Amino acid sequence: MTHNCSREHDRELERHTINGDVDVYDNLRDQYIGRLVNIHTQGLMIVGDVAMEEDRLYTLDLHVPEPVNGQMVIQLGADCLWARDADLSGKHWTGFSIIDVSPQATESIRTLVDLLGEAY
């Protein structure tokens, strides 16, 4: 069976490094987690001082440096897929799958990528 992906779909799933300060908070605990490193419409990675738990669901608030589609916060539900210690500095890398997101938030992610993103 041949798998035929469109270029549009491939582009949508590219990771985009975010060149700007997008702070990420755990909405339920109202706790700063870290800074957004990269994002696409189905996942994101952050680096921060807080160790996250794998296989746990989080409601994340992405605080953007300038309004995106009229919003200063993009909220989404995410599943923590993996967490790693960055180095001896006490920082942690964490990867999430986006599992619950409104159509408006999905559009805001795309706009955020257009404003601050850099494909790699």
Q: Mind listing the pLDDT tens digit for each residue in 82-104? A: 999 887 778 999 999 999 999 99
pLDDT digits (tens, 9 = 90+) for 26-35: 999 999 999 9
Which residue segments constitute the domains of the chain, with CATH numbers given?
A: 22-119 (2.40.10.220)
Determine the pLDDT at residue 17.
Answer: 78
Determine the pLDDT at residue 40.
Answer: 86
Determine the pLDDT at residue 115.
Answer: 84
- Dihedral, 106, 54, 28, 112 alpha carbons, nearest 10: -30
Supply the pTM of this predicted model.
0.82
Portion of the chain with pLDDT greater than 90, in percent: 61
Determine the pLDDT at residue 14.
Answer: 66
